[in-house]
Amino acid sequence: MAQGSRIYHGRMALSDVDGDRYLQLEASTALHPSESIDRLVLRLLAWLLLHEEGMTFRGGGVSQGDEPDLAVREADGRLVHWIDVGTPSATRLEKAARTARVSVVTHEALLPRWKRQHGDHLPEFGGRILVLETGLVTALAEALPRRFRWQATITGGTLYLDDGNLSLAGRLYELP
């Protein structure tokens, strides 16, 4: 862990009515000094929304550029699901898609910048792009304690999230 990193630990309950998934999860990850709290929230939401057995956060913080933000690996170490957050480069996604399923979790305010980075369109990489409402990410970032509990429900394309102090709702959708 890099000097100055802060550890965040959460317990999350997910009731995904749309996807018929019901999970009780725990996650611990570090906020690297060069990482924004919004990006940390996106990583935590990616953990919650895309969780699979064997999922891990990238070790070593955001400076480990060749690794995905989150990964699912087989028992032999083979990468099967590469997950990035924010606005990853097309080259990075295309390279990852050669050997694994690829997903990106982002929010609406990042989409215009991401499109500009790639000639006014999003990168094509054969994977999933999940988009969250910016207000949901921002509100979570402003109130995220280092130890948190989330109760999340997905129904009708909306993510409802309660942390005991605030209740939020925001649209959650996948880009084609």
At 104, list the tokens.
Answer: 């990106």
Q: How many CB atoms lie within 10 A of CB 19?
A: 10
φ, ψ at 110 (rounded to 5°)? -85, -20
Q: How many CB atoms lie within 10 A of CB 121?
A: 10
Distance in angstroms (rounded) separating the CA atoms of residues 34 and 114: 20
Q: Does domain 6-175 have CATH number 3.10.640.10?
A: yes
Say which DSSP state 127 is in.
S
Q: How confident is the model at residue 163 (pLDDT cuts 50, 70, 90)?
A: very high
Judged against a pLDDT cut of 90, whether residue 168 lies above it is answered with yes
For residue range 116-159, list pLDDT tens digits in order: 998 888 998 999 999 999 999 999 999 999 999 999 999 999 99
**Greater pLDDT, 102 or 60:** 102
User: Region 157-172: what's the mean pLDDT?
Assistant: 96
φ, ψ at 116 (rounded to 5°)? -60, -35
